[in-house]
Structures are given as C-alpha cells and as structure tokens.
C-alpha cells in the first residue's frame, strides 16, 4: 500500500484550439511528499492543476488517486478528496470565515451543524484564525483570507492539496504567515503539490522540484540538486531569471 503514490499523472495532454498547452506530462507524488512546480508564465502549470482536479477536462492521459483512475470520475465527488487553494482565495464573500470552512462539510459531506462547526473551528485554530471565525472576507487581510482557504481545504480531510501560486496575490509582508502555515502542513505529513515561485519555501520543504516549460516537464529533482546543479540549460536560465525577479527569499 505504501508504495502506491497518492497522485499519479500519466501522459496528460490538453489543447485549446490548435495550441498545445500540456504535451504529455507524467509524474507521481508519494504520500506525505511535497512537490513544487516552477516554470515560466503561460507554460501550463495552472492548466495541469486544473486537469488534476477536473476544473478542466484533459484531452488525453490519466490521473490516479491512491492507485484508482479518477480521470472520468464524477468531478464534484473527486474534489472532496483533492483540496485546491487558489491564488485569489476563492472565498464566498457573503459568508463568514467559519461558514466558508464548514459549508462543504454540511452541504457535501453531510455533517451535522455541530460536528461541522467543531471540525471547522479546529482547522481555523490550526491556521491561527480561531479569533476571526465570525469575520467576513472583506474584514480579513489577504494573508488571513488565504489561511481561511487553507483551513477550508483541510476541513474536507483531502488525500492531497493542490496550491496554485497561493502567495502571489499577497503583499510581501503577508506572504510569510501563509508560507509558515504551508511549511507546518508539509511537515505534518500532508501530501502537497504546489505551484510557487517561493524558492525559500521550495528549499525548506519540497522533496522534489518539477521545472515545466511549454507544456512539458524539462527536469525534476530534489531542490539541492535542481537549484545548485541543474542538468538542463533551460532550467539554469529560468532559475537565474527567478532569482533576479524575486530574490532568494530563504524563509
Ligand atoms: N480556457 C482557455 N482557453 C484558451 N486558452 C487557455 C485557456 N486557459 C488557459 N489557456 C492558455 O493556456 C496557456 C497556459 O496557461 P496556464 O494558466 O496553465 O499557464 P501558467 O503556467 O499557469 O501561467 P502563469 O505562471 O502565468 O500562471 C496560456 O497560453 C493560456 O493563455
Ligand atoms: Mg498559473
């Protein structure tokens, strides 16, 4: 059981019109692993995550969750098993933090209101927001909103959480609080696939970095190897650009 990957992506392809966005992407994420995807803008990173949890239908290829092929499963059902944290939080603005976290538990997982509240409060506590449970998104900072979104994902007890640039919409001074929560999560054994340009985060917790360009994986390897001794010229060039743009934030 333990060698069955939590996530296996096999030869995933996606085209929009005549434009190939994903051109045969394959990789695995083992239980408890954190994998980080980096790559230039427009390269298909978001499309890849969206194909995994079927916000987008892939044209070809297969996705397996704990060994079971889920490519054609009911998308809504499958999304209960795979959490998704978006760049722009995707919270319901008319609901409080608590209601955002417990709505899926009540409506989808059919927990009683009391049970859902207990689970939701526990997750809000985990991300340091128990005292903000009754505030609406408009009353929260960007970092707090993203932590609510993480609590919401966690509340569903997912097998895996996908993160799509979770800190790139945040003011610099708010990035650290979200990364701290994500680092704790990774260390607690959550299985995570994270698109991010936060190299400090990647260095701290990633088991492996995947470098994608133009719809294919150019290179993958542990952060030590990929950052200090990349095999491919493309990877070197991209890492140099990234460091120029963001610096080497070693958090
Ligand atoms: N619904 C769509 N219809 C047509 N083209 C699309 C659609 N969604 C994405 N694309 C195109 O697919 C390509 C890959 O987009 P994607 O958002 O996956 O890139 P990305 O690597 O996440 O980029 P970024 O780093 O800027 O977030 C882009 O050229 C984009 O314009
Ligand atoms: Mg993207």
* Ligand with smallest separation from the Cα of 45: 1
CA of 137 to the centre of ligand 2 (A): 23
CA distance 224 to 206: 10
CA of 38 to the centre of ligand 1 (A): 14
Find out whether the beta carbon of 235 lies less than 6 Å from any atom of ligand 1: no
pLDDT at 53 exceeding the cut of 80: yes
pLDDT at 51 exceeding the cut of 50: yes
End-to-end Cα spacing for the chain = 35
Q: Given strand 60-65, what is the order of strands in its sheet? A: 19-29, 7-16, 60-65, 68-69
Is residue 247 very low, low, confident or very high in pLDDT (cuts 50, 70, 90)?
Answer: low
* Ligand with smallest separation from the Cα of 56: 1
DSSP for 146-164, please give it: HHHHHHHHHHT--SEEEEE
Count other Cβ atoms within 10 Å, centred on residue 26.
13
Q: Which residue, by CA, sits nearest to atom 13 of ligand 1? A: 42
Based on its alpha-carbon atoms, the radius of gyration of the chain, rounded to whole angstroms, reads 18
pLDDT in tens, 76-103: 888 889 999 999 999 999 999 999 999 9
pLDDT at 250 exceeding the cut of 90: no
Instruction: Give, for 187, the enclosing helix (H) or strand (E).
Output: helix 172-187
CA of 110 to the centre of ligand 1 (A): 35
How many helices (H) and strands (E) would you count in the chain? 9, 10
Find out whether the beta carbon of 67 lies less than 6 Å from any atom of ligand 1: no
């Amino acid at each position: 059981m333990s060698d069955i990957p939590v996530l296996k992506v096999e030869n995933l392809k996606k085209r929009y019109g005549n434009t190939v966005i994903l051109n045969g992407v394959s990789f695995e994420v083992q239980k408890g692993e954190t994998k980080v995807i980096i790559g230039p803008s427009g390269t298909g990173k978001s499309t890849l995550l969206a194909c995994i949890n079927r916000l987008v239908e892939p044209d070809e290829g297969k996705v397996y969750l704990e060994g079971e092929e889920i490519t054609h499963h009911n998308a809504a059902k499958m999304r209960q098993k795979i959490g998704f944290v978006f760049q722009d939080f995707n919270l319901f603005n008319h609901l409080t933090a608590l209601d955002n976290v417990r709505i899926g538990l009540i409506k989808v997982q059919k927990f009683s209101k009391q049970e859902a509240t207990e689970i939701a409060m526990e997750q809000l506590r985990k991300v340091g927001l128990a005292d903000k449970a009754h505030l609406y998104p408009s009353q929260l900072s960007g970092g707090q909103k993203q932590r609510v979104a993480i609590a919401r994902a966690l509340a569903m007890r997912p097998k895996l959480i996908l993160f799509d640039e979770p800190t790139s919409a945040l003011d610099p001074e708010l990035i650290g609080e979200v990364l701290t929560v994500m680092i704790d999560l990774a260390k607690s054994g959550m299985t995570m696939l994270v698109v991010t340009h936060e190299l400090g985060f990647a260095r701290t917790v990633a088991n492996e970095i995947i470098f994608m360009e133009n719809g294919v994986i150019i290179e993958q390897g542990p952060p030590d190897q990929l950052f200090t001794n990349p095999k491919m010229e493309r990877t070197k060039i991209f890492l140099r650009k990234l460091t120029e743009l963001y610096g080497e934030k070693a958090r």
